[in-house]
Structure 1
């Protein structure tokens, strides 16, 4: 099992040896295999996860059984059902492993203890949440105002490193289109180049 590397998780945060030891005590490292579900709809959400290796995704299953991918998480990214995590409610989503992964999990209680004991960790997470919120708003705007082709190009420009790690139907689900539409868009772009 891989050890926790606080400098990997908290890039740019200078921790003393005592703080590093405290932070490491609050995380658990897990190896998850492709296909593993780490969160299911209806479960309480006591953890958020830092991806050290691999790729995970958050998705929702509609009443018709169709999957809607909300988020991907690759190396150095965080993932959870944040609404349920912060409110203590039940998850609306699933999180599955789409590539073998090593993840570090931390509970809400442990995070709050770190906020009190290591204030720069609270600052780190506040900045992360501000960026996440901005990204979330941009995603909503793109879903409302962009064509499928524009959404795909925006995805490539923003998250190009993810495309090679995910299946076409996961990407199509994220973009809110069919895999056939995704193929057509890729062909159009290739012809334009």
Structure 2
């Protein structure tokens, strides 16, 4: 990959990198093109990769024992997605990741991530900061789920992630908010 088409320069845009570091980073990422409806990751598998979203929209979800799916995350440009329980613990995945819009993503294995962190300490700092923000975000989402009404959760969602609302179907948003599509329709009628 040439430096001007470098995924390293896209992902690590706020980090000063040498040509050698850029080439090393680029060698660790694999580009993948997905079409709407493609399944990137299935539940009950071992996950060894995480994915950087260059374009498009994906969602991760799990299906409960009653067959109902629960959206846990959306991922759009410049976001990362995986089944992190499996990625970090080597347990089988519980998540499925599907493509909601045609997407271009970059795969990074756990082994290659560790190699990048060992060779380029500022990349380790990048990943540590990313994980800290993700942990805080997931904890905040749990607290909001426990303390806010469905209407408040929806308003928070559309104000925080307006670009995601445009990419996904109503039932995906309802699944993410933990409500039915009918409840979401009622909430939308109230706030419009």
TM-score scaled by length of structure 1 = 0.95
- After superposing on structure 2, the runs of 4+ consecutive aligned residues of structure 1 that deviate more than 6 Å are none
> In the TM superposition, what is the alpha-carbon distance from 1:5 to its structure 2 partner?
2.1
Work out whether 1:27 is the aligned partner of 2:29.
yes
Work out whether 1:188 is the aligned partner of 2:190.
yes
How much is the aligned-residue C-alpha RMSD, in angstroms?
0.9
* CA distance, structure 1, for counterparts of residue 43 and residue 7 of structure 2: 30
Unaligned runs of 5+ in 1: none
Work out whether 1:103 is the aligned partner of 2:105.
yes
> How many residues are paired up?
188
Q: Secondary structure at the match of 1:43?
A: coil
Which position in structure 2 is the counterpart of 1:92? 94
TM-score scaled by length of structure 2 = 0.96
Aligned ranges 1:136-175 → 2 under 5 Å: 136-175=138-177
* CA distance, structure 2, for counterparts of residue 10 and residue 58 of structure 1: 24
The CA deviation string for residues 64-92 of structure 1, in whole angstroms up to 9 with x for no partner, is 11110000000000000111101112101
* 2:58 aligns with one of 40, 56, 59: 56
Q: Is the 8 A contact 1:41 1:90 kept in 2?
A: yes
Work out whether 1:10 is the aligned partner of 2:16.
no
Q: Is the 8 A contact 1:34 1:97 kept in 2?
A: yes
* CA distance, structure 2, for counterparts of residue 170 and residue 83 of structure 1: 22
The CA deviation string for residues 17-60 of structure 1, in whole angstroms up to 9 with x for no partner, is 00000000000000011111111111000100000010000000
* CA distance, structure 2, for counterparts of residue 43 and residue 156 of structure 1: 33
* CA distance, structure 2, for counterparts of residue 58 and residue 66 of structure 1: 14
Which position in structure 2 is the counterpart of 1:67? 69
* CA distance, structure 1, for counterparts of residue 187 and residue 106 of structure 2: 36
